[in-house]
Structure 1
Amino acid sequence: MHARSRPLPTRPRPPVWKWLLPAALVLGGGWGAWYWASRPHDPPVQTAALSRTASQDWRGLQAFGPRPVGSEGHDRAEEWLADQFRALGYPVTEQPVTLERPYDRGGTLKVGSLSVPAAALYGSRGGEQEGRLVRLPSGATSEQMEARGLRGQIALTTCQEWDGEGVTRRDLVERATQAGALGLVLVQDCAVRQLQRVPATPLPLVQVSAADGAKVLPLAGQPARLTSKVEVREVKGHNLIAARVEAKPEVLFGAHLDSVNDSPGANDNASGVLAVLEAAREAARTPLADRAWFVLFDAEEDGLVGSRAFVDAHRYPLRQTRAMLNLDMVGVNVEPLGVAAHAELLPLARRVRPGVRVFEDEAATRRETFGRSMNISGNSDQVPFQSWGVRTVFIHRGLDRNYHAATDLTLSPALVREAGDFAVKLAQAVLAAPWTPDEPCEGFRSGGC
């Protein structure tokens, strides 16, 4: 037998694409599944959340009590509110807000053999001074105060004497310090005790109770020693930003979630918070949900800290914002529901609500009113948006007698629902109206916009 001269035929090697393609499909499918599983998703809308009422929402929020930044009630309220938005199908982003707040650590007023406890006025930084007690007449100017010999002495006055003068605590302190006062004692004898912020002056600025004030007032003119201790702490809160994953902030609904010290903040501003929640509920499962952000700002009562931080961090998306609707104090019918609106938005507000009350911000010419700082005009969270050229509508029912007081305990769920419904209808009108956005960065003058 002869040896074979040729090798037997063999099976040809398969082309590279035949094994590379299945491998690519497997890898691509795995990556696609991972990407789909890991990318942000809108939470499912819970049917029970859609049927909740403003009354139920208020009972839930009310349980946490006062909500000043840094308090337990504030933090629990934040968590609860975030859960309410998620139940409506909105992912919630928590934007950190950090600030410093003063805490009273006690004080005393000594006049001769009399010694009474004193509490620092909110915002003051404490101190210790000696001087003669000089009684101030109601409504006195700084010149009139100085004429009474206040320079180098300690001012003494009562809440009732200034309550009817339309003068804030800040005005009182500024007049007294301009007149040369080394401190201030305010007898807290008003029926409703309001918390108003005063300048962070390194002087003892205190209040004493009406009972102790009755003992001190007859001693006006005598030498006194005034001591006030204040601790300043850094506290942290959050802006809550509720928005669908793909939603653009063409319309932004806003309200502040914090309250002043010791106040449950029913009207100021649980009412605005619940109105925003009501608007989010109405928008769920509608096209509006994909064109709106719902934002609860923190630390408004400390000088619009949260809204300023929000605007600073979201300059680029705010170029798409047609209107910012701010709801503040809408749960007590002091006056009919009213608006202070951008000139281009006011006709839309009147079309949605014929005869709507139109007002101008009373604080437009003031630097600060009732503890709220201002750069342009107004005293609520629409102000930082105005600074960046965003059109705003301030929705408001006026100041009630329990404003910034421990007696701010009640609100009307029906009025809250009405305000939220008005805001939704106004948002829809804004989105339907022609609008030409500014050129890129016009009005956003800061670097990085």
Structure 2
Amino acid sequence: MLGPMYARSRPLPTRPRRPAWHWLLPAALVLGGGWGAWHWANRPQNLPAQPAALARTPSQDWADLRAFGPRPVSAGGHDRALDWLAAQFRALGYPVTWEPVTLERPFDRGGTLKVGSLSVPAAALYGSRGGEQEGRLVRLPAGATTEQMEARGLRGQIALTTCREWDGDEVTWTELVERATRAGALGLVLVQDCGTRQVRRVPATPLPLVQVSAADGRRVLPLAGQQAQLTSNVEVRKVTGRNLIAARVGAKPEVLFGAHLDSVNGSPGANDNASGVLAVLEAAREAAGTPLAGRAWFVLFDAEEDGLVGSRTFVDAHRYPLRQTRAMLNLDMVGVAAEPLGVAADAELLPLAKQVRPGIRVFEDESTQRRETFGRSMNVGGSSDQVPFIAWGVRTVFIHRGLDDNYHAASDNTLSPALVREAGAFAVKLAQAALAAPWMPDEPCEGFKSEGC
């Protein structure tokens, strides 16, 4: 018998510890299976179009959309309108995806114009960044050139003019500001005496660019030549909008119907551009249940009024699928008969537009004047959402009825549902013609290494 002095000095052998993979593998399989089941349950699915959605009319759509009020990015009505539109597309059987659109917007915080003992409130012109300056008020005549402004002694002073004097001159506020800036102006005061008060964008110069009411203007104008103090307070904030993309699962953007959904500040944006939005919705309704639905994207762009921000964001994000796009159809201001329905179209698509609608009005748009470089269009101008597509070599058709008297104004509150339906039907027929016509896609990136290729 062993005594205590011979006690065991090491533990008895034990069962080896199980390798980590013995329990990690089953756990991974369970987690992977759960994720796969969740992903399968939540995958995008095509749903049948609801009969009530198919039976709706542009008149009913406008009655609902107008209730949201003005739709500039960051306004409450803007987001409510977007959510309502998403519900309409889903009811037609189109899954909806969102695309963030980030930008900076200026918000007027008030200002003043002081001349001697007179002080009147001043509001920043849309797009300006505000500032504070002192100088003599220099009266500008209608249509004054930069040289004429300089001759009047504008350098180092503050320009004073009226809306009515420039309204019929086909000179944009941007051109007015650029002329005054080149002439050395330290600021600009515009008397808003036009019959229709329009929101017109101006360059973001670091100078006070303001407007005063017609009543206050009548008190200011006789004081031209006197020293003035001009203050404009503007807050620039980063805001986020959303592009809405409605498309059947697996659909490629062989044709793309587009319109911008935002409006300028303070405007219900009936013609500009609820009319285009409702025409796209009408096109989606007409296409539902047909082969066109599987070959089209319906896109509502945000922040068009802030410089085509939404459409530029979209094109940057979807360059590869856009190689398959035979036609981008942009509908902008199609609900008021300022002029007959017209198109500014790519040279290859214009014959199709004339075939679909004989005698259609053809107009020139700055975006149609382009220069090709390696399959891409350079130096493209224009003021609507077809422009970024043209710059990337996509064939476009700008569908438009011209500028009406309420353009960019608070009085832009009416549209014709019949004209909206007509524009949507024309866009559908043109899309079908583009899909039926022979087409060879461009390959602008072949042989070149550059962004997006």
TM above 0.5, yes or no, is yes
The residue identity in structure 2 corresponding to 1:239 is: N
Once residues 225 and 62 of structure 1 are traced to their aligned partners in structure 2, the CA distance between those partners, rounded to angstroms, is 41
Once residues 276 and 363 of structure 1 are traced to their aligned partners in structure 2, the CA distance between those partners, rounded to angstroms, is 21
Q: How does 1:221-370 map to 2 (within 5 A)?
A: 221-361=225-365
3-state SS of 1:405 partner: coil
Once residues 400 and 204 of structure 1 are traced to their aligned partners in structure 2, the CA distance between those partners, rounded to angstroms, is 29
**Superimposed CA distance per residue, residues 119-168 of structure 1 (whole angstroms, 9 cap, x where no aligned partner):** 01111111111111110010000110010111111110100010011111
Corresponding residue for residue 184 of structure 1: 188
Once residues 419 and 347 of structure 2 are traced to their aligned partners in structure 1, the CA distance between those partners, rounded to angstroms, is 25
Once residues 39 and 214 of structure 2 are traced to their aligned partners in structure 1, the CA distance between those partners, rounded to angstroms, is 66
Corresponding residue for residue 213 of structure 2: 209
Shift, 1:320, TM fit? 0.7
Once residues 283 and 255 of structure 1 are traced to their aligned partners in structure 2, the CA distance between those partners, rounded to angstroms, is 17
1:403 paired to 2:410 = no
2:366–2:380 contact (8 Å) kept in structure 1: no
Corresponding residue for residue 384 of structure 1: 388
Once residues 30 and 209 of structure 1 are traced to their aligned partners in structure 2, the CA distance between those partners, rounded to angstroms, is 65
Once residues 34 and 382 of structure 2 are traced to their aligned partners in structure 1, the CA distance between those partners, rounded to angstroms, is 54
1:74 paired to 2:78 = yes
1:107–1:119 contact (8 Å) kept in structure 2: yes
Corresponding residue for residue 121 of structure 2: 117
**Superimposed CA distance per residue, residues 384-419 of structure 1 (whole angstroms, 9 cap, x where no aligned partner):** 000110000000000001000001010000000000
Shift, 1:448, TM fit? 3.9
Corresponding residue for residue 54 of structure 2: 50
Q: How does 1:18-167 map to 2 (within 5 A)?
A: 36-167=40-171
Once residues 313 and 30 of structure 1 are traced to their aligned partners in structure 2, the CA distance between those partners, rounded to angstroms, is 31
The residue identity in structure 1 corresponding to 2:47 is: P
3-state SS of 1:80 partner: helix
Shift, 1:379, TM fit? 1.3
1:315–1:444 contact (8 Å) kept in structure 2: no
Shift, 1:440, TM fit? 6.7
Out of 221, 224, 229, the position equivalent to 1:220 is 224
The residue identity in structure 2 corresponding to 1:110 is: K
The residue identity in structure 2 corresponding to 1:73 is: G
- Over the aligned positions, Cα root-mean-square deviation in angstroms equals 2.0
User: Structure 1 pair 445/170, CA: closer, same or farther in 2 (3 Å)?
Assistant: farther
1:319–1:440 contact (8 Å) kept in structure 2: no
Shift, 1:37, TM fit? 2.9
**Superimposed CA distance per residue, residues 241-289 of structure 1 (whole angstroms, 9 cap, x where no aligned partner):** 0000111100000000000000000000000000000000000000000
1:265–1:408 contact (8 Å) kept in structure 2: yes
Identity over aligned residues, as a percent?
83
2:191–2:217 contact (8 Å) kept in structure 1: yes
2:345–2:368 contact (8 Å) kept in structure 1: no
Once residues 345 and 61 of structure 2 are traced to their aligned partners in structure 1, the CA distance between those partners, rounded to angstroms, is 28
3-state SS of 1:340 partner: strand
Once residues 368 and 258 of structure 2 are traced to their aligned partners in structure 1, the CA distance between those partners, rounded to angstroms, is 20
User: Structure 1 pair 72/446, CA: closer, same or farther in 2 (3 Å)?
Assistant: farther
The TM-score, its normalising length taken from structure 2, stands at: 0.88
The residue identity in structure 2 corresponding to 1:197 is: R
The residue identity in structure 1 corresponding to 2:211 is: Q
Shift, 1:40, TM fit? 1.7
**Superimposed CA distance per residue, residues 338-397 of structure 1 (whole angstroms, 9 cap, x where no aligned partner):** 10010110111111001111111157689xxxxxxx950321000000011000000000
**Superimposed CA distance per residue, residues 11-53 of structure 1 (whole angstroms, 9 cap, x where no aligned partner):** xxxxxxxxxxxxxxxxxx9999766534321133111000000
3-state SS of 1:63 partner: helix
1:139–1:167 contact (8 Å) kept in structure 2: yes
**Superimposed CA distance per residue, residues 179-200 of structure 1 (whole angstroms, 9 cap, x where no aligned partner):** 1111110000000011111111
The residue identity in structure 2 corresponding to 1:326 is: N
Paired residues, what number?
415
The residue identity in structure 1 corresponding to 2:382 is: G
3-state SS of 1:84 partner: helix
Corresponding residue for residue 22 of structure 2: none
Corresponding residue for residue 12 of structure 1: none
**Superimposed CA distance per residue, residues 296-355 of structure 1 (whole angstroms, 9 cap, x where no aligned partner):** 000000000000000000011001100000000000001110100101101111110011
